[in-house]
């Protein structure tokens, strides 16, 4: 493939930025890629493993001359980073981000950007429970969705160019507005994460069942929850604080439904339970057919096979 | 390895029974293994794929002469199956089961068993989201825990022999009493399943986000929940109806904790959230160190690698 941006700057060097770097380099999608991270440790690690063509010690240096700047920091840090980099942006540059929340990022980043810079917010629906500069790999975005959330007046050419970069990194791309984005991810990502964190926290805090029992006997279902509950605490704190309304709306619906199922259990209403548990199988089939998960038993962990 | 039981009867031919059969045959742990399933379709499938040395058309025929009878039917069906087989059991035989609930199974099965038959309830903490006679594989129990729940007067030799069978199939074995068992699995398996079913049901029933969006954008965390929410509806209906008290106790704790986190989100209490999300990481580490899950990112699904 050919170069899509001559100069790219990655601000924040965690799982997403490092995966972007390896994906761009694998396919020659960018000329020079600079990187910046606030932590000196992270910058040193990046230099050690060859993450980015040039690791810079300031945001100003990293964004200077960049055609594309991608903010890959926790959502709560985006506004401050935008303010700091704004005076150093090249006219005509595109600024994008990979934040899990869009209304808040648009509100906090947008006002800092100078005229003549194109703002194209985006969000890759991809990740693992690992974090930090060593956690990236170039296949992270393969067949995962990238949501672009154009803002009022987003330049069409700038949007299309960013789209072509993500497609070249393997993503499927869709566009939607910011409010709808925040509700969709509240359902498909934010509420599930909070619920998983909650379940793991409860198990960790029981008097009558020890942590050692919880750990040994986790293969009955619990261990699945611990994976997403091992995700980066700072990132997720910021997600919940900045996508408050949509997350609370979905959690309200969840609690309502959970109470209905608890009542069915208490009253011995087997029909209600059976019908509910049958309905939920269809979504799993849809996800497998859409190529968004594996059909291998137990995510393929068990080494299982079907005869 | 050598034969542990000359004659084994498997009643119910789903995931667990079929995995037991393949594991016993792989290592020559049983002489003849008979099998019975209530559904003719299941019996035909079993004959077609060579599941069991002899598939019988009645429970009486299957258990006749068996040294070990293992009940592998949904918990709610165990009592009726026990009543039906009781007159045909060989004196000195061991009756065991693989039910996910123990207090209820002991109460419903125990009274039917004649004097001179040894009852040794058990529960393998192993499974996948697949079910039925085609879903079994011999490695299912490797490094998974098998909990033996001896009843009053359980014969020590009978317990030890069953233990040696499960160890030979790859399990780690522990013993505990029935009440504690039911609470442990309420935390590590039953509550997580109900919560996963609930989350998937909520996502399936939103007006403002379509099913197609939920499916496409599921990789942000939601898809993990759909795996266990695709488990067998009959089995799980019975689990909740028969482990009512322990499940409701854990769900009560869960709801309490979820409300506390929702309040922290509403009030913008980032410190509370960050501390909670940091604490839950330790349990994940414990599970990986105990060999109960993989450390590969995303359960190894993503093909991810660490540099």
Q: A18 with A96, same domain?
A: yes
Measured CA to CA, the distance from residue B234 to residue A273 in angstroms comes to: 9
pLDDT in tens, B289-301: 999 999 888 888 7
Q: Least CA distance to A182: which residue of chain B?
A: B209
Whether residue A269 is predicted with pLDDT greater than 70 in this model: the reply is yes
* Mean pLDDT value of segment B155-171: 97
Residue that terminates a domain, selected from A144, A161, A176: A176
B231: containing domain: 180-268
Q: Report the CATH number that the domain containing residue A217 is assigned in CATH.
A: 1.10.3660.10
What are residue B35's DSSP bridge partners?
A: B10, B55
Residue B283 maps to a domain: no
Can you say whether residue B299 is alpha, beta or left, with left for phi > 0 and alpha for psi between -120 and 50 degrees?
Answer: left
CA distances from B73 to A68, A127, B10, B78, B87 (A): 60, 39, 9, 6, 19
Residue A124 maps to a domain: yes
Whether residue B306 is predicted with pLDDT greater than 60 in this model: the reply is no
Whether residue A307 is predicted with pLDDT greater than 80 in this model: the reply is no
Cross-chain residue pair A287–B218, CB shorter than 8 Å = yes
Burial (Cβ within 10 Å: 0-12, 13-18, ≥19) of residue A116: exposed
- pLDDT in the model for residue A304: 38
Residue B207 maps to a domain: yes
Whether residue B305 is predicted with pLDDT greater than 50 in this model: the reply is no
Q: A141 with A184, same domain?
A: no
Measured CA to CA, the distance from residue B137 to residue B19 in angstroms comes to: 5
Cross-chain residue pair A286–B201, CB shorter than 8 Å = no
Q: Is B239 at the interface with chain A, CB within 8 A?
A: no
Residue A203 maps to a domain: yes
The answer, yes or no, to whether ipTM is higher than 0.90 is yes
Distance from CA of B209 to the nearest CA of A (A): 6
Which are the contacts of A56, defined by CB distance < 8 A and separation ≥ 6?
Answer: A34, A35, A36, A62
Q: A217 with A255, same domain?
A: yes
Q: A291 with A202, same domain?
A: yes
Residue that terminates a domain, selected from A176, A204, A238: A176
Q: B97 with B123, same domain?
A: yes
Q: Which of residues 197-216 of B touch A (CB under 8 A)?
A: 197-206, 208-209, 211, 213-216
Q: A144 with A202, same domain?
A: no
Q: B21 with B36, same domain?
A: yes
Q: Which of residues 45-64 of B touch A (CB under 8 A)?
A: 49
Distance from CA of B147 to the nearest CA of A (A): 9
Q: B15 with B158, same domain?
A: yes
Distance from CA of A2 to the nearest CA of B (A): 25
Residue B158 maps to a domain: yes
- B153: confidence class by pLDDT, cuts 50, 70, 90: confident
**Torsion angle of the four alpha carbons A293, A295, A297, A300, in this order, in degrees rounded to the nearest 10:** -60
Cross-chain residue pair B237–A184, CB shorter than 8 Å = no
- A300: confidence class by pLDDT, cuts 50, 70, 90: confident
Domain tally, chain B: 2
Q: Considering chain B, what is the average pLDDT of its residues?
A: 95
Q: Which token pair is B163? A: 């233990």
Q: Considering chain A, what is the average pLDDT of its residues?
A: 95
Residue that terminates a domain, selected from B121, B148, B176: B176
Q: Which token pair is A259? A: 């109470």
HEC sequence for chain B: CCCCEEEEEEECCCHHHHHHHHHHHHHCCEEEEEEECCCHHHHHHHHHHCCCCEECCCHHHHHCCCCEEEECCCHHHHHHHHHHHHHHCCCCCEEEECCCCCHHHHHHHHHHCCCCCEECCEEECCCCCCCCCCCCCCCCCCCCEEEECCCCCCCHHHHHHHHHHHHHCCCEEEECCHHHHHHHHHHHHHHHHHHHHHHHHHHCCCCCCCHHHHHHCHHHCHHHHHHHCCCCHHHHHHHHHHCHHHHHHHHHHHHHHHHHHHHHHHHCCHHHHHHHHHHHHHHHHHHHHCCCCCCCHHHHCCCCCCC
Q: B47 with B134, same domain?
A: yes
Q: B165 with B186, same domain?
A: no
Residue A43 maps to a domain: yes
Nearest residue, CB atoms, B202 vs list A254, A282, A284: A254
Cross-chain residue pair B188–A261, CB shorter than 8 Å = no
Q: Is A263 at the interface with chain B, CB within 8 A?
A: no
Nearest residue, CB atoms, A219 vs list B126, B209, B215: B126
A with B: how many residue pairs have Cβ under 8 Å apart?
A: 379
pLDDT in tens, B72-93: 999 999 999 999 999 999 999 9
- pLDDT in the model for residue A301: 79
- B302: confidence class by pLDDT, cuts 50, 70, 90: low
- pLDDT in the model for residue A303: 45
pLDDT in tens, B118-127: 999 999 999 9
Q: A97 with A38, same domain?
A: yes
Which are the contacts of B14, defined by CB distance < 8 A and separation ≥ 6?
Answer: B72, B131, B132, B133, B135, B136, B232, B235
Residue A267 maps to a domain: yes
* Test mutation, B143, B175, B237, B263, chain A, max A CBs within 10 A: B237
Query: What whole-number percentage of chain B has pLDDT above 70?
Result: 98
Residue B67 maps to a domain: yes
Distance from CA of A97 to the nearest CA of B (A): 17
- A302: confidence class by pLDDT, cuts 50, 70, 90: low
pLDDT in tens, A18-54: 999 999 999 999 999 999 999 999 999 999 999 999 9
Q: Report the CATH number that the domain containing residue A132 is assigned in CATH.
A: 3.40.50.720
Q: B18 with B68, same domain?
A: yes
Chain-centroid distance, C-alpha A221: 24
Measured CA to CA, the distance from residue A113 to residue A119 in angstroms comes to: 8
């Amino acid at each position: 493939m050919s170069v899509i941006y001559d100069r790219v700057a990655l601000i924040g060097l965690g799982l997403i930025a490092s995966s972007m770097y390896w994906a761009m380099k694998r396919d020659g999608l960018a000329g020079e890629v600079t990187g910046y991270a606030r932590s000196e440790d992270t910058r040193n690690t990046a230099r050690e493993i060859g993450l980015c063509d040039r690791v810079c010690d300031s945001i100003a240096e990293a964004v200077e001359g960049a055609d594309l700047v991608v903010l890959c920091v926790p959502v709560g840090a985006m506004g401050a980073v935008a303010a700091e980099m704004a005076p150093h942006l090249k006219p005509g540059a595109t600024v994008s981000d990979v934040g899990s929340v869009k209304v808040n990022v648009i509100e906090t980043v947008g006002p800092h950007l100078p005229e003549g810079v194109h703002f194209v917010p985006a969000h890759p629906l991809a990740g693992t429970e690992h974090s930090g500069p060593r956690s990236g790999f170039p296949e992270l975005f393969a067949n995962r969705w990238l949501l672009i959330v154009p803002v009022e007046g987003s330049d069409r050419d700038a949007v299309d160019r960013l789209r072509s970069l993500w497609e070249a990194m393997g993503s499927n791309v869709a566009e939607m507005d910011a409010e709808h984005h925040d509700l969709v991810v509240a359902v498909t990502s934010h509420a599930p994460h909070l619920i998983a964190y909650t379940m793991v926290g409860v198990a960790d805090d029981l008097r009558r069942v020890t942590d050692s029992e919880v750990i040994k006997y986790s293969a009955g279902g619990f261990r699945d929850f611990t994976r997403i509950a091992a995700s980066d605490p700072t990132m997720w704190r910021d997600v919940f604080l900045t996508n408050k309304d949509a997350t609370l709306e979905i959690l309200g619906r969840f609690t309502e439904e959970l109470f209905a199922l608890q009542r069915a259990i208490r009253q011995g209403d087997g029909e209600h339970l059976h019908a509910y548990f049958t309905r939920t199988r269809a979504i799993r089939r849809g996800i497998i057919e859409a190529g968004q998960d594996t059909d291998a038993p137990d995510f393929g962990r068990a080494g299982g096979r079907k005869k």
